[in-house]
Every structure is written in C-alpha cells, then in structure tokens.
Structure 1
Amino acid sequence: MSLSKQSVQSYYMEFLRCAGCSEVFAYENPLHRPITLPVCGHTMCGGCVYIMRDEKKCPQDEVSFEINDTSINQLPTNYPLLIIRYDPKQLPKDNEERYGDCPSYMKLDDLTRSYFTVTEDFLGEISLFIKPIINDEKRQSIFSRSTTRKIFSLLNNQYINHEGRSKVLEAIRSLGEHICIDCIRHYQKPQQLKDNLEAAIRLPKGHFPEPAIQEKVLKTILLFLKCCHPITSGENLVESMAQIVQRKDPYGILSSVHDIVHLLSITPCCFQMVEQADSSSSIKLKPEFQNYESIRREYDSRIIEMAMSNDFCLSAEQWSYLFYGNMQHEFEMALIYQKLHTPQSFTTAINLFYDMAKHAQGDPQTIEHLRGYFQFLSNIDLEKDASQWYQYTAALGLLKKVLKLLINLHK
C-alpha cells in the first residue's frame, strides 16, 4: 500500500531535525547545521551542540562520547544529511572549504583524513540515491520503512575515528540485511507468503487467522478468564470460549481459538492455575498478561519467534499487515525482530532470498550478484575491516551496488 505524500513527508522529515530542539537542519545558518555525536549517533544542530559543548555524555541516552581532547562543538558538519534537503551545488564542494575551520578535521593525519573523505563521499552518494525515491509517491514502496530507518541510521554516524568507522560498518551490515528482506518481499507472492508462514509456525494450510479474528480471540480470552466460571484445563478453556465466540460469529472460528490458546500455552505459558476461595483451581492469565496490550505483544512475539526459528523472515511492514491489517504497528514489529535477531539471521535471509528468487525465475545474473554481495556484507568484521582500507572501501562500494540493484528490481 502506498503512503500519502504528507505521511511520507512527515516520516522522513523526523530524521532531518535536531534530536535536541527539533529544529529542521539547514545550511544557511551555522547554528542549524547538523553535527552527529560520536557513539550514540544522535544528530543535533550546531546551536544545541554549542550549548552542551563541555558535556561528556549524550543528554538523550547518557552514552559517553569517548573522544579525547575534542569538544563536540569542534566536530564536522554532517553534509550527507544536508544533501537530502539541498542540491549538492548549493553546498561547498571540497573538504577544505567545508572543514577548513573545523579543528577536529584539520588535526587528522593523512590516512584518517582519507578514511573520512571516502566515507563522506559514499554517504553523500547514498543520500543522492534515496532522495528522488522518498520524494516520489510512486516509488516510495521500494524501501520498507525499516530499511528507510536503517539508511538514516547509516547517515547519522560520526566517522572521524576508528570507532566511528566500525559503527559505519555495523550500520552497513544491518542495512544490507534489511535490503535482503526487501528483496524477498519483491519476489514473494502474497499467497506464497501465507503458505510459507503457516508451514513455519506449524499451522494447517489456511489456518492463519485474519487480523480481526486475532484481535477478537485475544480480547475474548481476556474477558472470559476475568468474568467466567472456573476453567480447569486448556481443553475446557478452548471449548467454552469457542461456544461464546461462535454464538457471536456466524462463520465460526473454532480452529483459530484452538490455535491461539495453544500458542499462548507453549512454555513459558501465559496461563497459570489459581486456587479459588472454595479450594478449587481455575486457569487464569499470569499477571503480566492481564491487559490487551501485553497479551497482544506476547502473541505477536511468539509467532515471529517461531517463524524466525524455522528460517522464515518478513519485513516489519508485512508482519504489521498480517497481525493488524495495516502498517501502523510496523515500528513495534521492528523492535520485536531486533530483540529476536541473532548473528545467523542475515544468513537465513540470504538463503531465503536465493531460494525465492530462483523459483520466481528472476534474472539469474542479478540474483547471483545480489547473493554474493549479501554474503560479503554478512561477513563484515567490524573491528578488523574498519582498519583495512580494501575491506572497508569494498563494503562501502558493495552496499551502493545492492541499493542500485534493489531500485532496478522495481523498474
């Protein structure tokens, strides 16, 4: 589903505002130019950075800057971010003009300055890649919102030292994984997606419930266990709930009731046996799951975890549509994915992409190139490669190629 121009405008503009005062970054006023803080990656305007120039920790999250003998107001302007808002012709062209008055840049040795320059040039090209897409309503679906966030996470890096370059490589690897998932989305048909998901979470074909049914069953569980007579077993719970739900639903959703109760009963179980006043016992939800938001979050997490453990992956947008029928919960889905992420997740995504693309009869050369690029990005060694010129520049170059190929898939 394409987003409205206004919603996309407001969405990506949040990345172009100061993390401190929310002022939109601008080149004309030096106080409004973006400066990215080390380690934490928050980007603030020159005015806010000047006010907190003697601080050693970021006020947003208390993360230490870990830079020696350098005040944060002496850090360089983030020009790749400005390229999103300006024609490059409106900005200074060379680093001497850009950073001639920047103390932290001027004291760099030749090698470190070369690393800085190649990184800035690369990020500037990334900005130029995405700029026409985020401003074109017809092309906005090329990148999922998760990928868009990862792109801006890459642009919001302070790479003036070795630690900063490691952060750049970390952002590149993470972005590469999300682009891989976007490529899977490109090749995967909706019905194929549903079939593969049901297989991954061990549901019979056609049993994954529609969003409205998921909500109805979960809310009925909450209400039923709060108000009804004692329930002595999971089977008793399913039967009793099904009778109530089916009376209100002429189509009947017995299988969905059974599947959802079973999912919530898997260890660690969301239910517990509670002794009643008459010494009998009854099933109740554990205290941490006794409101809709908490039981819903647990339900979503369990399905995503089961799917990921069986080598199945989707974008956060796709999970949001499957669970809620809209994209409004995409950010929560992204947080769940990040929590469940493992070092093997990227490899799983690569294998799934390769299998999906081959069966979809995509262009063999493009598929092989993408597979090789993804494999290289998944094997990035953050500490080692940040100090090796060939490996570092190769990672930068391959990410550009991956972005180009993803864009070309949608032409």
Structure 2
Amino acid sequence: MTTNQKTIAYIQDLFESKKFIPLHEPCFRGNEKKYLNDTIDSTFVSSIGAYVDTFELMMQNITNTKKAVAVVNGTAGIQVALRLVGVKTGNEVLTQALTFIATANAIAYNNAHPVFLDVDRDTMGLSTVAVRNFLEEYGDLRQDGCYNKKTGNKIAACLPMHTFGFPVRIDELVEICSAWNIPVVEDAAESLGSELKGKPTGSFGQLGVFSFNGNKVVTCGGGGAIVSNTLALGEKAKYLTTTAKQPHPYEYYHDEMGYNFRMPNLNAALACAQLENLDSFLENKRILAKSYQTFFDGENIKFRTELPETKANYWLMCVEMENREQRDLFLKETNASGVMTRPIWQLMYKLPMYKDCIRDEQLNAEFLEDRIVNIPSSVR
C-alpha cells in the first residue's frame, strides 16, 4: 500500500466509517436541545435573553477576561474590534497573508489597508521577525502613533491570527507593537481553548475575537465573541454591536453609527450547551492528535504538533508534505475516497481584491501554502 492508501485506511478506522468523513463536524451530546427548547418556551429567541448573558459570562471565565460580548459572527467581531482600537479610513493594519479571508475582509470593512507580513513556519502565524523588520524599515513613531514612512499612512493596528488553533507568539508581538504604539487585536477565531504560557489566547491583545461557526470546536451555527481586559473597550463593543442605542424604557435614540451584530438568544443557548463540554472536546481532540502523531511518524509525513509553552486546541489538525506535488496527490486521493482533506488557504495577496496590498517576501507563507493539508479533526 502507498502512504496515501495507508492514511485513508487509518482515518476510516479512526472514525469507523468507509463512507464520507468530514473535516470537522459539530458534536451535540449535551444540553443543546433542552436549552433551545427553553428559548422557544420563553419566546425570547432574538437578541435579548438569558442565554446571551450566560454565554458572555462563560466566555469571560474561559478567556480570563473582564468583558465578553456576543456577536453574530467572528468577522463582524474583528471589524468592530479594529474600529474600537482606532482603525479609520486610509489606515494600515499589519497582518498575515496566510489566513482565512475574514481577517483581511474585516480590515477592508473599516476602509483600511491590510499590510501582509510573513509568518513563522513553526506557528504558521504572524512572524515577530517580519513585524520587527518592517517597523524598523518603514515605521515612523510620532506623537499620535506609528506611520508608514513610505505611504504616509498611519499603522493603526496589528492583527495576528492563531492559525488552526496553534498559538502565535502573541506575547512578543504585543511587546513589539507596544514599543511602536500600535494596538494589537487577536484574531482568535480558531483558537478557543488554546493557551500560551498558561494564558488563554484572545486575552493578550487589547481585544480578542472568537468564532463559533459550524465547523469550530464549539459551535452555535454562527456566532462570535469579542473579549477584552479593558472594561471600557468591552462595554463600547457591546454598545456598538447593539446598534449604538442609548438605554431608555421606550425611546429610540442612537448617538453614533452602530451595527446590528447581535447574537440571537437561540444561538447563545446552543453555545452555552457547547461550552459546557469544551473541556471534554479538547481532551478528545488531544487524544486524536496523539494518534495521528504516532501514525504519521511511521509514514514519514510531518504531523503538526503544539510548540513548547503552548497548548493548542487542535481545531484543524494538519500535516506538512514535502512539496506541492505530494500535497496535490494527497488531496486528490483522500477526497476521492470520501476522506475530506483541504489545503491551507490561498495567500491573500493572490486574490484579486488584495493583489495590490503592501507585502514582504512571504518566504515562509509560500512554503506552507505549498505543503500544509488539513485532515479530519472532528470530536469522536
């Protein structure tokens, strides 16, 4: 048998299926139906309800932050978080090209410009070296912030992403950006339950944003959360995402442009039930990751594991191929056999809407784009 054939057979045995095996399907084995029925019985199925409040408190506790705000999805959360740290029209935001499209789109929704810097090969997240080098060459620290010497635009934020739940070197990025007076927003969409040096992802930057899309470790169909250790920022996030309406018993008065980005109580009920099982989900995924690591060690394919001082949630597990040709053959043969695998994302600057953005050489990002493949990672 070839390595690909052995891999297909192994995954089929792991998931006890010879038919279709999805990349990451949701697992509902707790109080999901009960809590959904509660919302229906209460008639509070929209954006006001007890489960929204409970969900926000649970997220505060999980992320060890002072304020959590439930939102309709992670993309909307990043959009608002960037606005909260001061990103305005024409500003630049340092981020990575090796990411899901939402990261770049959230910057564009603020009429700002992504600056795509390289990633580290080991974390697959924004490189501290790339950020430092860019700022030393182009950064101009002024009284009101950091500017790009070449473009004259303000560098208003840094937006790293914890790729597939593997923590980026977020503590070092915050330190570098702090020296240049650049606020950091964490795209923690994929990293619920991940930690760096014992501290949850999402809690390092001024704000962090999580996603609860249908393919995440914890899902409520859609949904997202903004978290912050700065209470004022968290409260402003709640205000802006609930249409910027001033509290009043019956009058409707909105004193700035807000967003209808509220999470419905129905979704929050589902999220609460899922969060109750977060620890068991994470433990189950760690067991799966260990099984994969043992198998691939014997097949001479590199299985990606967490780094020292980190704890990954192993949202989407991945392997690294020797080259693009091997990657493409693996993708073709696994998917043809009903084992869902996916390549890492196309780099953002290769997409038509971001082709003219500032970027560096992207040596590591292009290396990973040619080699990384996600494999089935569901909670079993």
Per the normalisation by structure 2, the TM-score is 0.26
Higher strand share: 2
